[in-house]
Amino acid sequence: MIFAAIAIAFLLDQIRPVESGHAAAMLPRRWIGAAARHVDAGGRLYAWLAWALAVIAPVLAAGLIGWLCIRVAGWFGQLAWAVAVLYLTLGFRQFSHHGTAIRDALAAGDRDKARTLLARWQNGEAGYPGPLPEGLAERGFTRDPIARGAIAYAVLLAHRWVFGVLFWFCLLAPLGLAPAGAVLYRYAAFAADYWRYKTGKGEPAASPALLAVAQAVWHVIDWLPARVTALAFAVVGNFEDAIAAWRQRQAGDTDGGANEGNDAILLAAAAGALGIRLDDGGAVAPPPDADRPAVLAYPEAAQAGADVYPPDWETVTSPDEVAPAGVADMPGPDIDVRYFAQVAGLLWRGVALWLLLLLLLTLGHVLG
């Protein structure tokens, strides 16, 4: 049933994706915003109550509806509810077309259009709030800051919309709570990002106590899914480079600074899986036998005592912006749209790996 629900949900997403302005897509934004407005009074107790109302209440509702579907329609009701929940919480098409538009603009040489599209994507106008954390955005995947931002943002959203949802959906499936797991991950992610984004824009969306609670709980919820996704990238990509980049990123967190969070490890593993070279904080030239361009590692993004998510990345605004010092001396083109195809291939291979594992587990259960 789990494999069938995921396969049907992916198929529906490809045929008719949920638009950002759809009522069902707007529901988390409205519910989470209302929970903060009506419950968050500034204290830590009220912060926990607001977070529970914003996240746990939808999870309990999803579990209750699933139980009612089973009671009324048996396995068919269970399957239908699982597909409905996955259709609204999982899918490439809910964000991938924004990356495609940026890629096409860069390929056509229209940097101004690409920059505008990236800014709209990061500023929530495309349906998902919040740009990259500042420390992850200062240096990144390619020499061009626009392509770099689009690629890194696509990787993070793929984890948010696909791999993380799949993890919690499958994790709670043996308990009969698979839809509740998907709702838990989606609402926890959206609450942390939405409140951080709104507060960063100067809107009183959440108190500091609520922000701290949302970020801390989200870090715990996403800790294992982020590492499972990183491992999946390693399996379907360049395994040795992905693991080396992962270990390098973790080693960089042992110098007294706070842990950068899950996103840095995820992006480092994705870069390694694609064969993109990382180092520990500066531009380095590729080795003599390398046949691919070098890129920068992610610098230390957080200080001791900082929030799990660093401050927002300020969108590129100057047409004359150049890459950080040292990058200009590297070989290779400033804009290489081939990276977009490589990232898309990596993400789809990751999905295929998930589906293959689920299919094997399903066959083993049926035959065993």
Question: Which tens digit of pLDDT belongs to each residue from 131-142?
Answer: 554 444 444 444
Cβ 179 vs Cβ 82: under 8 Å? yes
Lowest mean pLDDT among 35-39, 62-66, 88-92, 351-355: 88-92
Structural tokens at position 228: 């499972």
**Number of structural domains the chain divides into:** 1
CB 132 within 8 A of CB 146: no
Q: Which residues on adjacent β-strands are paired with residue 277? A: 294
Calculate the dihedral angle through the C-alpha atoms of 16, 21, 27, 30, rounding to the nearest 10 degrees: 170
* C-alpha torsion 217→219→221→227, nearest 10: -170
- The one-character DSSP state at 161 is I
* Residue 47 pLDDT exceeds 90: yes
Whole-angstrom distance, CA of residue 82 vs CA of residue 7 = 11
Q: What percent of the chain has pLDDT over 90?
A: 37
Q: What is the spatial distance between Cα 28 and Cα 184, in angstroms, rounded to a whole number?
A: 11
Which residues are CB-contacts of 115 (< 8 A; sequence separation ≥ 6)?
Answer: 146, 316, 319
Q: Read off the pLDDT of residues 315-362 as tens digits, 9 standing for 90 and up.
A: 333 333 333 333 333 333 334 677 788 888 999 999 999 999 998 888
Q: Which helix (H) or strand (E) holds 312?
A: none
Return the closest-CA partner of residue 153 out of 182, 127, 171, 188: 127
What whole-number distance in Å separates Cα of residue 84 and Cα of residue 86?
6
CA distance 141 to 173: 36
Whether 292 contacts 331, CB under 8 Å: no
Tell me: the pLDDT tens digits for 253-288? Answer: 544 333 357 888 898 899 889 876 433 333 223 333
pLDDT of residue 300: 30
At which residue do the structure tokens 């390398």 appear?
290
Contact 299, 135 (CB under 8 A): yes
- pLDDT given at position 222: 95
Q: Supply the pLDDT for residue 260.
A: 53
pTM score: 0.78
Which domain range does residue 344 map to? Answer: 2-367
Those residues with Cβ within 8 angstroms of residue 321's Cβ, 6 or more apart along the chain or in another chain = 145
Alpha carbon dihedral 193, 198, 200, 204, in 10-degree steps, equals -130
pLDDT at position 283 is 29
